[in-house]
Structure 1
Amino acid sequence: MSELGLLLKKARVERKISLDDLQEVTKIRKAYLEAIEEGNYKVLPGNFYVRAFIKSYAEAVGLDPNEVVRMYQNVIPAPAPEANIETMTKPRVSSRNTERFSKWASNIMMISFVILILGIIYYYVNANYENSTKGQPAGGTQRITDKTEGAAPAPSAAGSSIALSEPKKAPVPTPTPTPVTKPEVKLVSSERGVDYYAVTNSGKLTIELKVTGDACWAEVDSVAGEKKLIEQGTFTNGQAKSWEVDGSAYMILGKANAVEVKVNGTSINVGDAPNVKRFQFDLQKS
């Protein structure tokens, strides 16, 4: 067991916190917590998250996370920049190709839509013109008088003709538009390192994540009833991911300032520090 692991374990034992309790508070797997205490950092998902996990452990047992990292910075392995560069290269190329294809497809759809609209307008204008010309004599509109044979009614005593009038059309009622209620996402509290949000006016959660920094480890869980893991992993620069959850959800970010997060179209404040950040989105169905 390393000196850093002894320090962290001693603080945990003094506070009478079990590894299971610590796992629940930090949302870090028990196997990773044991590996930190034993100094076996190879078990962790990557050197990039060793410091973040140690900070979360230290904060949960009442130690100053920044001071702990500073004291043992020579012991804690540094992230490997070469691996990050290699893993980030392919997603960037894939992202650029996807963006080019999306722009090309959008342009084709827009041009096709304009052509379709012009075709519909031409069809109706031409059809109305043909209908208006049918039944008219070549010399123009025929005047109806009392001398027209078999068509005009009998003249009145005053000798005036009976004017023909078109029937009035009944007004078409205008449909009343149905009001659209916009989903609302609101921060209600922050307790024990977790930001709690209330989501209303929606039947489900749509969580969107986009990596704007170098890389970020993320985990998304469903907490409607029994807690269930939806997805976890490391996402690199340019990657975007979305999840749909029927109930409430829990989210952990390993490096919060490296990503952008939206819930039902509303941006979530992830802060500007490269620390672990935890959120819970409670869906309040009406």
Structure 2
Amino acid sequence: MFELGQLLRKARLEKGISLEDLQEVTKIRKRYLEAIEEGNFKVLPGTFYIRAFIKSYAEAVGLDPNEVLRLYRNVIPAAEPEQKAEPVRRKRSDSKNSEKWSKRLTGIMLWSFVLLIVGILYYFISASAKSDDDKNVTQSQSNEHLTDRKMSEVSAAPTPSASPDVQKQEPEPSKAPVETDKPDVKLTKSEGGRDYYLVSKASKIIVEVTVLRDKCWVGIDKTGEEAQKKTVFSESLASGQTQKWELDPTIALTLGAASAVELKINGTVIPIGEKESVKRYQFDLS
């Protein structure tokens, strides 16, 4: 072994190659190269690597690697038979088989889960449909029973017969409502900024003024052929206040803010308008 190492070392030195350079070329660690030169093959990782390292070393220093291996075949330890290759292959094949089986089992489990869900849904849908059918049948039977019962009650009920002693009662003629004369308030003309109304079917002119908002000045003068103009009322009424007078035969009414009040003559509402302006009226009793 030492002679082989010396041969390789001599060839390296003749080429002027350092161990560092040889390490860079062969990609073999420096301590392994030193062990080959010293013949200390025990340092190397295994018999297989010994032959490979010697071959790479010889090629790097310009020697024929096959010739070197042939000359020193008795010195170089023979490579151990690869006894572990078959178990490794078996393990790999076993692992592949186990992966296949695991994939198959996973697929089977997924399909089983899907089929289980479908079966559960089908069961509940079938049960619901059956329940609805049972309800419809029960309801139909109950309706038929009620119909039969009503028909039997109608057929069993006695038919009323007309009694000869009972005389027909003719309805009494309805009495026509007595019409009462309602006061009639009619606009006759609008002239000189004043509206003239004629009040008929009444003995008095009943004036009713209600202030709806703010306040309004109200002026009432009594006039006529037998008397001169006489002021009956001339004041401002507040919001929500109502005042009522009974006068005859002719009155003159003035509203300071006409749109703020509601005016009634003998129960009839007199149209005023929406303008907040002075409004003048004259009411004559016919």
TM-score norm. by structure 2 comes to 0.38
* Structure richer in helix, relative to its length: 2
Larger RCO (CA within 8 A; separation ≥ 6): 1
TM-score norm. by structure 1 comes to 0.38
Larger radius of gyration: 2
